[in-house]
C-alpha cells in the first residue's frame, strides 16, 4: 500500500500552460543516483540504516520494496528512510521489481558481498541504449565469484571473495559502484583502475565507510579497498541531486527566468554552469545555492556528453531543449548512450528544428515553441519536454510521466512554487478544465 503513495500510472500526465517566466527559489532533494545504491548497500549490514535527505521518488520505493521482499523491513519518516536488514536471508531478487528498475543491478554486488551469492533477472530501467553489464561481471569474477547467465538471469556465487586488481575497460558508474560494494567485505586488498569519478561514486564510498568499510580514492580514477569482516548500521545523509538541480537551472534559462536553486554543491554543477554562462545566462554561485537568470534570447553552443567532470549525459536533453530556442546552430553529441535522442521527434512537434544523425543532434534555434501533446520517452527526456512546455506558447500535455516520477520529487509542485502553471492530471475531464482556465 505504501507503493501507491509515489506511484504514477501510465495514464498520468502533466498539463502545462507555457510562456511563464520561472522565478523564485527551489530546494533540491537527495540524489536519485546515490540513494539507489545506498539502499542496495544497506543489505550488506545486519543492523539498522537511516538514510536522510532521501528523495520521495518512485525508484526509491521500488528499491526499498526489493529490500522488503528479501526479508528486510523499512519505513519512511519525513525525508528519512530507515531500513532493517538483519533478517534478510534470501539473495534471490524478485523478478517483477528488478525488471522495473535499472539500479536493482546494485543489489547483486551488495548481496554477493554479504551472502557470497546473488541471483537476479536482467535489470530494467530507461531504454536509452543497450546498457551492458559486462564490466560489473568482470569485476565480480576478478574477486573470485563464479558468474553464470541462464535464461537471462544472472547468478553469482563464491566460496570466498578475495581482493583483486581490476582495470575497467570503460568508465562505468554502475560497475565502479557494484565492484566497490562486492570488494568491501572481500579478503585482502582491491584496486579499481579507470574508476568513475561521479559525486555519487564518492557518496557510496562514504556511505560504505560509515558502515565500517575501508575505501580510499573515490572521486579519483583509482579506488583502493581493504576488505573488512563485517559492516554495521549507519546514519547518513544523501548528497544533493546535481541532475535535478541542473534541470531547474535549464528550466530557468529556457523560460528567461530568475531562479535560486538551493541545497546544491556548486562544484558538482560546474559543467552545467559553464554551458549556461557560455550561452548568455547570468550564474551566481553561493556556498550551497546557485542563481540562474536570463533576460535576453540565449546563444548557441556545442556540447558533448562525457563522464564526470565532463558534461553529464543525464543533462543532455535539458540543454538540447534550451538550445532549440537559442539564436544560431548548436551541435549536441551524445557519447555515453546510443539511444538518447528519442525526444527529438516530440520536440519537433512543438516547433523545434532538430535533426539527429547517429550520436549527434544538429539544432537550429527557433524563436518559439508551440504547445502540443507529447510523450516522455524516458526520465530525463521527459523532464526536458516539461521544460519545453514551460517555455512554449499555449498548452502542452506530457504523457507517460511515470518515467519522470521515477526520478523527480514533486516536480510539478516545485515548478508551481516557481510560478509555473502545471498540473498532474489523470483524466480527460481535468485536462478540459485546465484548458478552459488557461
- Rule CB under 6 A: is residue 318 a binding residue for ligand UD1? no
Q: Does 275 bind ligand UD1 (CB under 6 A)?
A: no
Pairing between strand 282-285 and 289-293?
antiparallel
Nearer to ligand UD1, 313 or 375 (CB): 313
Q: Is 247 in the site for ligand UD1 (CB under 6 A)?
A: no
Given 313, 322, 375, 396, the residue binding ligand UD1 (CB under 6 A):
313
By CB under 6 A, name the one of 337, 341, 408, 411 that touches ligand UD1. 337
Question: Distance (Å, rounded) from C-alpha 201 to C-alpha 60?
Answer: 18
Q: Which of 118, 173, 170 is nearest to 140 (CA)?
A: 118
**Least spacing, CB of residue 102 vs ligand UD1, in Å:** 6
Neighbouring CB atoms inside 10 A of 298's CB total: 21
Q: Retrieve residue 206's grid coordinates.
A: 562514504
Residues pairing with 48 in the sheet: 84
C-alpha cell at 406: 521515477
Closest CB 305 distance from ligand UD1, rounded Å: 8
Q: Which of 203, 244, 314, 412 binds ligand UD1 (CB under 6 A)?
A: 314
Query: Judged by CB, which is closer to ligand UD1: 236, or 434?
Result: 236
CA–CA dist 36, 349 (Å, integer): 34
Task: Report in angstroms how near the CB of residue 269 gets to ligand UD1 at its nearest.
Answer: 15
| 27 HSE (CA, 13 A, CB side) | 4
Take residue 414 and report the three cell numbers written for it. 516545485
Of 5, 75, 87, 129, the one binding ligand UD1 by CB under 6 A: 129
DSSP 388-404: HHHHSBSEEEEE-THHH
Q: How far is the CB of 287 from ligand UD1 (least distance, A)?
A: 26
- What is the DSSP track for 82-129? EEE-TT----B--HHHHTT-GGGGHHHHHHHHHHSEEEEPPP----SS
For ligand UD1, which is the closer residue by CB, 38 or 323? 38
The DSSP code for 19 is -
Instruction: Give the residue, chosen from 103, 205, 415, 420, that forms a contact with ligand UD1 under the rule CB under 6 A.
Output: 103
Window of 7-15, 89-97, 306-314, 413-421 that interacts with ligand UD1 by CB under 6 A: 306-314
Binding to ligand UD1 by residue 86, rule CB under 6 A? Answer: no
Among 42, 49, 172, 206, binds ligand UD1 (CB under 6 A): 172
Residues 28-47 that bind ligand UD1 (CB under 6 A): 33, 36
Q: Is 150 helix (H, G, I), strand (E, B) or coil?
A: strand
The length of the chain is 438
Residue 423: burial class (beta carbons within 10 Å; 0-12, 13-18, 19+): middle
User: Does the footprint of ligand UD1 cover residue 174 (CB under 6 A)?
Assistant: yes
Of the chain, the end-to-end C-alpha distance in Å amounts to 35
Report how far apart, in Å, the C-alpha atoms of 199 and of each of 148, 204, 379 are.
31, 9, 20
Q: Single out the residue of 83, 173, 253, 259 in contact with ligand UD1 (rule: CB under 6 A).
A: 173
Binder of ligand UD1 out of 75, 87, 96, 134 (CB under 6 A): 134
| C-alpha cell recorded at residue 90 | 534470501
Of 47-55, 173-181, 341-349, 387-395, the segment contacting ligand UD1 by CB under 6 A is 173-181
Tell me whether residue 40 or residue 251 sits nearer to ligand UD1 (CB atom). Answer: 40
Is 126 an active-site residue? yes
Helix/strand/coil percentages in the chain, nearest 5: 35, 25, 40
The nearest distance, CB 272 to ligand UD1, in angstroms, is: 13
| Degrees, nearest 5: CA angle 285-289-293 | 65
Q: Which stretch binds ligand UD1 (CB under 6 A): 66-74, 171-179, 184-192, 326-334?
A: 171-179
Work out whether 143 is an interface residue with ligand UD1 (CB under 6 A). Answer: no
Q: Closest approach of Cβ 416 to ligand UD1, in Å? A: 26
DSSP string spanning 334-383?
--S-SS--TTHHHHHTTT-EEEEETTEEEEE--S--B--EEE--SHHHHH
Indicate whether 135 belongs to the interface with ligand UD1 (CB under 6 A).
yes
CB of 203 to ligand UD1, least distance (A): 11
The residue at minimum Cβ distance from ligand UD1 is 174
Cell numbers for 47: 543492523
State yes or no: residue 269 binds ligand UD1 (CB under 6 A). no
Residue 52 within binding range of ligand UD1, rule CB under 6 A: no
Q: Which residues are at the interface with ligand UD1 (CB under 6 A)? A: 33, 36, 102-103, 129, 131-136, 170, 172-175, 196, 312-314, 336-337
Q: Which residues are catalytic?
A: 126
Amino acid at each position: 500500500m505504501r507503493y501507491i503513495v509515489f506511484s504514477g500510472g501510465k495514464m498520468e500526465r502533466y498539463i502545462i500552460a507555457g510562456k511563464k517566466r520561472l522565478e523564485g527559489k527551489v530546494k533540491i532533494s537527495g540524489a536519485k543516483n546515490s540513494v539507489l545504491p545506498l539502499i542496495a548497500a544497506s543489505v550488506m549490514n545486519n543492523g539498522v540504516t537511516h538514510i536522510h535527505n532521501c528523495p520521495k521518488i518512485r525508484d526509491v520505493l521500488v528499491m526499498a520494496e526489493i529490500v522488503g521482499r528479501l526479508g528486510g523491513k523499512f519505513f519512511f519518516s519525513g525525508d528519512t528512510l530507515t531500513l532493517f536488514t538483519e533478517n534478510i536471508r534470501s539473495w534471490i531478487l524478485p523478478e517483477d521489481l528488478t525488471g522495473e528498475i535499472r539500479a536493482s543491478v546494485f543489489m547483486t554486488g551488495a548481496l554477493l558481498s554479504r551472502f557470497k551469492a546473488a541471483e537476479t533477472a536482467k535489470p530494467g530501467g530507461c531504454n536509452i541504449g543497450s546498457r551492458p553489464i559486462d564490466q560489473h561481471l568482470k569485476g565480480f569474477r576478478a574477486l573470485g565469484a563464479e558468474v553464470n547467465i541462464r535464461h537471462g538471469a544472472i547468478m553469482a556465487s563464491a566460496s570466498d571473495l578475495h581482493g583483486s586488481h581490476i582495470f575497467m575497460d570503460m568508465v562505468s558508474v554502475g560497475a565502479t559502484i557494484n565492484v566497490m560494494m562486492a570488494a568491501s567485505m572481500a579478503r585482502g586488498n582491491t584496486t579499481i583502475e579507470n574508476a568513475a569519478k561521479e559525486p555519487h561514486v564518492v557518496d557510496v564510498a562514504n556511505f560504505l565507510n560509515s558502515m565500517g568499510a575501508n575505501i580510499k580514492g573515490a572521486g579519483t580514477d583509482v579506488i583502493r579497498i581493504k576488505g573488512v569482516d563485517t559492516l554495521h548500521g549507519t546514519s547518513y545523509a544523501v548528497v544533493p541531486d546535481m541532475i535535478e538541480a541542473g534541470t531547474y537551472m535549464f528550466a530557468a534559462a529556457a523560460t528567461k527566468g530568475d531562479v535560486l536553486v538551493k541545497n546544491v554543491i556548486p562544484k558538482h554543477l560546474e559543467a552545467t554552469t559553464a554551458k549556461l554562462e557560455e550561452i548568455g545566462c547570468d550564474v551566481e554561485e553561493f556556498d550551497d545555492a546557485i542563481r540562474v537568470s536570463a533576460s535576453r534570447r540565449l546563444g548557441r553552443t556545442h556540447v558533448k556528453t562525457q563522464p564526470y567532470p565532463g558534461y553529464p549525459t543525464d543533462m543532455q536533453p535539458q540543454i538540447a531543449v534550451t538550445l532549440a530556442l537559442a539564436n544560431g546552430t548548436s551541435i549536441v553529441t551524445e557519447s555515453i548512450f546510443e539511444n538518447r535522442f528519442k525526444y527529438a521527434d516530440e520536440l519537433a512537434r512543438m516547433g523545434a528544428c532538430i535533426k539527429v544523425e547517429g550520436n549527434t543532434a544538429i539544432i537550429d534555434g527557433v524563436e518559439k515553441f508551440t504547445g502540443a501533446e507529447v510523450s516522455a520517452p524516458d526520465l530525463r527526456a521527459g523532464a526536458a519536454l516539461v521544460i519545453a512546455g514551460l517555455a512554449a506558447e499555449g498548452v502542452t500535455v506530457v504523457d507517460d510521466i511515470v518515467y519522470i516520477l521515477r526520478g523527480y520529487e514533486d516536480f510539478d509542485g516545485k515548478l508551481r512554487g516557481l510560478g509555473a502553471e502545471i498540473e498532474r492530471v489523470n483524466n480527460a475531464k481535468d485536462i478540459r478544465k485546465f484548458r478552459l482556465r488557461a
